[in-house]
Amino acid sequence: MNALQWAMDPWGNIVPIHIAWFLIWVAVIAGFVFFIVHATYVRYFAKPKQFAAEVPPPIASEIPARVPRHSLVARLYHWTAGAAMFTLLFTAFLPRVGFQFTWVTWHWIAGAVLTVLVIFHIFHASFWRDFWSIWPDRIDITDADHRIRRFLGRPAPLPRKSAKYPLDVKLSHGAFMVAGLTMIVTGFFMMFRVRTIFFSRNPYLFSDMTWGMIYVLHGLAGVGLITLVMLHIYFTLIRPENRPVLKAMIFGWMSRDSYLEEHDPKRWVVEAKISSQESREQKGLGAGNEE
């Protein structure tokens, strides 16, 4: 069973033309296997989470009831990019598994939208947000090492609470970034092979071998994204412990309790803004006695 499909080009060279489509099912099955293994582990074997130190009460009391987590711009980016990603995956793979429809135009439009969104995201995250917050730092690596050693039954200190993003989210972002950028870059060149509004077709831009590798990389990134999206949905929509994260991606904030449970105020510094409701409560004004 070959993971790539090969063909002979007009010059007699054997070149790859794309991935073998059974890899779609490999990606889907891998996602489901992960669900089952992880859910079983969490349900029957996992120990309660333990962290090195609790947040001291004076610091905890400074945290607002609603901790801002995602700006409106960041949330809009997330959901529109998600819609584009789903459109790309459905238009790419449903025809391969028997659902025939006009998919090419929708596919490149969704790809163009995602490309614009990702370029925006890169600039927005680099210059207007805390760029380094999504990248693993030294503490993440040290704590991951501690977690693994404790998992294996070896002595190790308790891990610390996470910064704004835990290591698993940072790794997930990294995987999405690699697969997404691969898909975008290869997809950009593949648009030279179809009729779009952007530029003239030029199927001879590269050699057959290079084109083949571009198609293979695009396909591999695509099936990788199937699994990644499945895991993302599993962890954010299905796992109950991650509901605060989902809620934050909808409303922009998470509760003080959720924040204190998982995050270290030293690593994720939150401005102690007091909401108007809290201010009223501190002044002894109820919601109904403003007048």
Partner 1 sequence: MAIIRDIMPAFDLLQPTSIAGARKLLEQHGRDALVLAGGLDSFDWLKDRIKKPKMVVDLGGIEELKGVRTTSDGIEIGAMTTLTEVVQHPVIKEKYRLLAEAASVVASPQIRNQGTIGGNISQDARCWYYRAGWPCYRAAGNICYADTPVGRNHEHAILHANRCVAVNPSDSAPALIALDAKLVISTRKGEHVVNAEDYFVGPDIDITRLNILQPGDLLTAIRIPSALAGAQFYFEKVRERNVWDFPILNVASAMVVSGGNIKRIRIAVNGVAARPLRLKTVERAVLGKAPNAATGQIAGKLAVQGAVPLQFNAYKIPLMRNLVKRAIGGVGEAV
Q: What is the DSSP string of 57-103?
A: HHHHHHS-SEEE-S-HHHHHHHHHHHHHHHHHHHHHHTGGGT-----
Q: Which of 39, 76, 104, 119 touches partner 1 by CB under 8 A?
A: 104
Q: Identify which range of 46-54, 83-91, 202-210, 244-252 contacts partner 1 by CB under 8 A.
A: 202-210
Q: Closest CB to partner 1 among 91 and 115?
A: 91
Distance of CA 210 to CAs 15, 21, 182, 193, Å?
Answer: 9, 20, 15, 13
Residue number, 161 or 218, with CB nearest to partner 1: 218
Task: For the CB of residue 23, give the shortest distance to partner 1 in the complex, in Å.
Answer: 15
Structure tokens that stand for 32 in this block: 């489901």
Candidates 100, 276, 282, 289; binder of partner 1 (CB under 8 A) is 100
Q: What is the chain's Cα-based Rg?
A: 24
Contact residue for partner 1 among 149, 174, 203, 275 (CB under 8 A): 203
Regarding 282 and contact with partner 1 (CB under 8 A), the answer is no
**H or E element: which one contains 175?**
helix 167-190
Tokens coding 30: 């891998």
- Under rule CB under 8 A, residue 9 binds partner 1: yes
Does 149 contact partner 1 by CB under 8 A?
A: no
**Span near partner 1 by CB under 8 A; candidates 48-56, 76-84, 206-214, 227-235:** 206-214
| Cross-strand partners of 162 | 263
193 binds partner 1 (CB under 8 A): yes
Site stretch for partner 1 (CB under 8 A), options 55-63, 171-179, 191-199, 226-234: 191-199
Asked if 5 is part of the footprint of partner 1 (rule: CB under 8 A), the reply reads yes
Among 59, 194, 250, 274, which residue sits at the site for partner 1 (rule: CB under 8 A)?
194
User: Quick check: 236 and 242 in contact, CB under 8 A?
Assistant: yes
Query: 265 by DSSP, 3-state: which?
Result: coil
Nearer to partner 1, 7 or 46 (CB): 7
Determine, following the binding rule CB under 8 A, whether residue 17 of this chain makes contact with partner 1: yes
Contact between 211 and partner 1 by CB under 8 A: the answer reads yes
Residue type at position 278: E
- Helices vs. strands in the chain: H and E counts, helices first: 10, 4
State the Cα angle at 91 between 82 and 115, rounded to 5°.
45
**Residue 69 binding partner 1, by CB under 8 A:** no
Q: Which of residues 212-271 bind partner 1 (CB under 8 A)?
A: 212, 215
- Applying CB under 8 A, the site for partner 1 has a residue count of 26
- Who contacts 158 (Cβ-Cβ below 8 Å, separation ≥6)? 50, 51, 52, 146, 150
- The residue with tokens 């859910």 is 39
Min CB(131)–partner 1 separation in Å: 37
Output the six-digit token pair for 75.
Answer: 């949330």
Contacting residues toward partner 1, per CB under 8 A: 5, 7-10, 12, 15, 17-18, 95, 100-105, 193-195, 201, 203-204, 208, 211-212, 215
